[in-house]
Amino acid sequence: MQNHQIDNLDRKILNALRTDARIPYAELGKQFQVSPATIHVRIEKLKMAGIVTGTQLMLNPKKLGYDVCCFIGIILKSAGDYPRAIEQLNAIDEVVEAHYTTGQFSIFVKILCRSIEDLQFLLINKIQSIDTVRATETLISLQNPIDRSVRI
């Protein structure tokens, strides 16, 4: 897959949308001294290139009672177990990210749960009970001082 070439206007648009995805095209046009139609065309091209993949509502997990964020490194019994393990992990609501990795772990997942007790239940009854999982290691996040998308 070839990278789409973006120019300075594209960068400005993307950075503005990264800050506020609901900013009106007219406001962007005024800010960057181009027409709203130009902004619309640029954003559509960025979507077609797969650079912009959509918009999403961002929730504050802490405000919803999810006080524990952790990362779990998962070692599979064999590399061939990956598709099945991902399918089973995807069915666990508390798993909010999964990464296929190199190094010690086959899969690295991010978990959000309400309490340490919930984390313990999740580990024992949902993750470690997956038959393709050989071992896990859990890292509890104490803070998340940086949380952003890629800068362009």
Domain that holds residue 19: 8-48
Please indicate, yes or no, if residue 57 is contained in any of the structural domains: no
pLDDT tens readout for residues 104-151: 999 999 999 999 999 999 999 999 999 999 999 999 999 999 988 887
Q: How far apart are CA 138 and CA 110, in angstroms?
A: 10
Q: What DSSP designation does 1 have? A: -
Tell whether pTM > 0.85.
no
The total of structural domains in the chain comes to: 2
For residue 85, what is the domain's CATH number? Answer: 3.30.70.920
What is the DSSP track for 59-104?
A: --TGGGT--EEEEEEEEESSGGGHHHHHHHHHT-TTEEEEEE-SSS
Same domain, 35 and 91: no
pLDDT for 2 equals 57
- pLDDT at 4 > cutoff 80: no
The tokens describing 118, both together, are 């919930």
Question: Do 26 and 73 share a domain, yes or no?
Answer: no
Q: How many angstroms separate the CA atoms of 151 and 107, rounded?
A: 26
Average confidence score pLDDT of the chain: 93
Write the Ramachandran bin of 131: left for phi over 0, alpha for psi from -120 to 50, otherwise beta. alpha
